[in-house]
Amino acid sequence: MTAHANELAVHVRGLRKRYGDVTAVDGIDLGIRRGEVFGLLGPNGAGKSTTVEILQGNRSRDAGDVSVLGSDPSTGTRAWRSRVGIVWQDESAPAELTVRETVRHFARYYARPRDPDEVIGLVGLEEKAGSRIKALSGGQRRRLDVALGVIGDPELLLLDEPTTGFDPGARRRFWDLIRKLSAEGTTILLTTHYLEEAEALAHRLAVIAKGQVVAEGEPATLRDRYGTEATVQWTEPDGTQGREHTGTPTRTIAGLMRRFDGEIPGLRVSRPTLEDVYLRLTGQEAAP
């Protein structure tokens, strides 16, 4: 590892993992800065969850160098594990306990946990604090999983599809929680299928396809670098819709202004979204 690696919460080089004849992770390189929110995007089977499991120390690797908070997760101590929070895709809480009992129980595993009642409030479960977990909805159970991930006040928080099952209101409340944790200095690795979520929260993104990182950068940078041409639309005098795909939309608009002597009826300019870029990078772009 280089001196630059000391500035990183996560430093990965040449990470590989196979399951029999299937290569799940094929030479991934990642560098996640301390205090940033980093989004990991990719279709099912791309290698996201395997990568997160290796970073957390729950999965062995076949090759590569991995440093998480300055340690190799494959030999992480109990003290190191207490610095890493994780929210898995699968639920982990016992069904017979109440929300409050569960959060307080998990808090005892840590030397300096957050206040359990504060955490219950952060995930929006105040009214369900006395309810048994088996009586919660799927979205409420997912919020409890998030609470258990942050109760230890981790330096690094690994979130694997954390908002699956959330209604829009709960998802927005979760976004506020992530922003709060980030502002406090927590480093966050987020995997998600919600492109709006990734764009709203992540400082930087990496797109994985077939076990490899195919693009990395800030959301706006990825849109500019990998986006297709802009689309200019307008309304013709006979009411039909005109449309042009172009890499120089300003020039197209200038030509339309001359045609229409100034005001362009129904003018609309749209640029590639992060979803457009994601579908293109992962080979899921629809044929024209």
Predicted confidence band of residue 129 (pLDDT cuts 50, 70, 90): very high
Q: pLDDT band for position 198 (50/70/90)?
A: very high
Using DSSP, state whether 184 is helix, strand or coil: coil
CATH number at residue 89: 3.40.50.300
How far does the chain reach from its first CA to its final CA, in angstroms? 45
Distances (CA, A) of 119 to 116, 139, 152, 241, 287: 5, 16, 10, 52, 46
98/145 same-domain check: yes
- Say if residue 227's pLDDT is above 80: no
Same domain (yes/no): 199, 165 = yes
Is residue 164 domain-shared with residue 254, that is, in the same domain?
no
Position 216 confidence tier, pLDDT thresholds 50, 70, 90: very high
Q: Is the pLDDT at 1 greater than 50, yes or no?
A: no
- Give tens-digit pLDDT for 61-106: 999 999 999 999 999 999 999 999 998 877 667 788 999 999 999 9
What pLDDT score was predicted for residue 287?
45
Q: What is the pLDDT of residues 245-272, one digit of tens each?
A: 888 889 999 999 999 988 999 999 887 7
180 and 209 assigned to the same domain: yes
Note whether residue 19 is domain-resident. Answer: no
Question: Does 142 map to a domain?
Answer: yes
Task: Note whether 82 and 207 are same-domain residues.
Answer: yes
Does one domain contain both 144 and 251? no
Predicted local distance difference test score (pLDDT) of residue 125: 93
Alpha-carbon distances, residue 208 vs 77, 192, 279, 283 (angstroms): 29, 12, 11, 11
pLDDT band at 18 (very low <50, low <70, confident <90, very high): very high
Q: Is residue 280 part of a domain?
A: no
pLDDT of residue 224: 80
Higher-pLDDT residue of 22, 285 = 22
- Residue 105 within a domain: yes
The per-residue b/e assignment along 163-184, b for 16 or more CB within 10 angstroms, e otherwise, is bebbeeebbebbeebbeebbee
Residue-wise pLDDT tens digits, 133-189? 999 988 888 889 989 999 999 999 999 888 887 888 888 888 998 999 999 999 999
Q: Are 94 and 133 in the same domain?
A: yes
Tokens of 288: 């024209």
Q: Are residues 152 and 126 in the same domain?
A: yes
Expressed as residue numbers, the domain containing 42 is: 32-59+72-224
pLDDT, tens only, 23-58: 999 999 999 999 999 999 999 889 999 999 999 999
Q: Give yes or no: residues 167 and 101 share one domain.
A: yes
- Number of structural domains (the chain) is 2
* E strands present in the chain: 8-19, 22-33, 37-41, 63-68, 84-87, 156-160, 187-191, 204-209, 212-217, 230-235, 241-246, 268-270
In a domain, 278, yes or no: no
Tell whether 38 and 178 lie within a shared domain. Answer: yes
Together in a domain, 234 and 126 = no
- Residue 5 predicted with pLDDT over 50: no
Q: Is residue 11 a part of any domain in this protein?
A: no
The predicted model scores a pTM of 0.81
- Structural domain includes residue 262: yes
- Sign of the torsion formed by the C-alpha atoms of 111, 112, 115 and 119: negative
For residues 130 and 265, state if they share a domain. Answer: no
Do the domain assignments include residue 67? no
